Amino acid sequence: MMRTNRGVALISILMVVVLFSALAFQLYSHQTMVTAQTRVGLTANQARHSLMASEALAQELLYQDWIDEDGRVRDDMVEPWAQSLLPINTVSGSVRVQIVDLSGRLNLNSLVSESSEVSTSAFSYILNRIGISVELTPVWRDWIDADDQRFFVEGYQGREELDWLSNATPFRTPNRLAGHLSELKILAPFASDVYTELTHLVTVLPTRTLKVNVNTAHPEVLNSLLPPTSSKMSSRAGVRNFGSVEAFIDLNNDFSAVIDHLSVRSDFFEVRATLEGADLRMDMTSQIYRDPRSGECRVYARDFATRHVWST
């Protein structure tokens, strides 16, 4: 009987030891996981703040440009904000920053403005130049206009809500200004290189206004504004730093027909920032509006999904 009691006591002690060992293992595993999650969260938070700091730097550069009397009158590609910034070393890694002038591109939201005729023709011109069917022009117009009437351009018909609802994956048209250029990918399939080329020429701004900065725009963007029979600007046109639209037209007379859509100043910019560390990469894209009256720079859109490509 004594031996039986000893055996039961030994088994009980072993069960308690096993139970406490399992509990200790669970506590250790949980603590290790929580520590790792905290470390990842802290690293990501530091990286995010580093990118936000680069955004603040870009805003300050744009504001300083506005303070300068010449910078307030015109914007061109030789100003400090347009130059490639050296990588910035932070605790989280190295940050690369670039400021892009969105006012030097065709605003696709202007296809539903008073200047829609010029904008529509310009978009078709750009699509044709990079090998995309002009059929996308009326489709885009119907995507952002407020009515449900199909639009026609050069024999092509747009698409309205009933057309998209019949898709395998049905969806509705927003019938309002686009918020991001990637909405084009909903309407048509794009090869990545073709889409990248298109993003260098067009954009979407939170306005219907069509104003292209002649100092920063790609020659093809400027050429797209011209009537078909006009003389085109050379695609190898050099650096431009015109102080007024009139000075630009003096050397490019055909642009007098679209003088209302030209400018030498920019209000919309995009800041691209990438942080690269030992085991981390984070990209951020910010859209900034600079008030032409006060120089105040406000971020109106920001995303962390676009991966930037940097040349070496």
Residue 238: how many CB atoms within 10 A of its CB? 5
**97 & 224 share domain:** yes
**Is residue 189 in some structural domain?**
no
Q: Please tell me the distance from the alpha carbon of residue 163 to that of residue 167, in angstroms, as a whole number.
A: 7
Answer yes or no: is pLDDT of 62 > 70: yes
At residue 39, the pLDDT reads 67
Residues 6+ apart with CB under 8 A from 136: 127, 184, 187, 188
Per residue in 9-26, pLDDT tens? 777 777 777 777 777 777
Percent of the chain with pLDDT over 90: 58
Residue 9 is inside which H or E element, if any? helix 2-67
Residue 192 lies in a domain: no
Q: pTM for the full model?
A: 0.84
| Residues 86 and 209 occupy one common structural domain | yes
For 250-308, what is each residue's pLDDT tens digit?
A: 999 999 999 999 999 999 999 999 999 878 899 999 999 999 999 999 999 999 989 99
Asked if 166 and 235 sit in the same domain, the reply is no
At residue 199, the pLDDT reads: 93
Q: Looking at the 3D structure of the chain, how many domains does it have?
A: 2
CATH number of the domain enclosing 127:
1.10.40.60
Cross-strand partners of 283: 274
Whether pLDDT at 5 is above 80 = no
Question: In the predicted model, what is the mean pLDDT of the chain?
Answer: 88
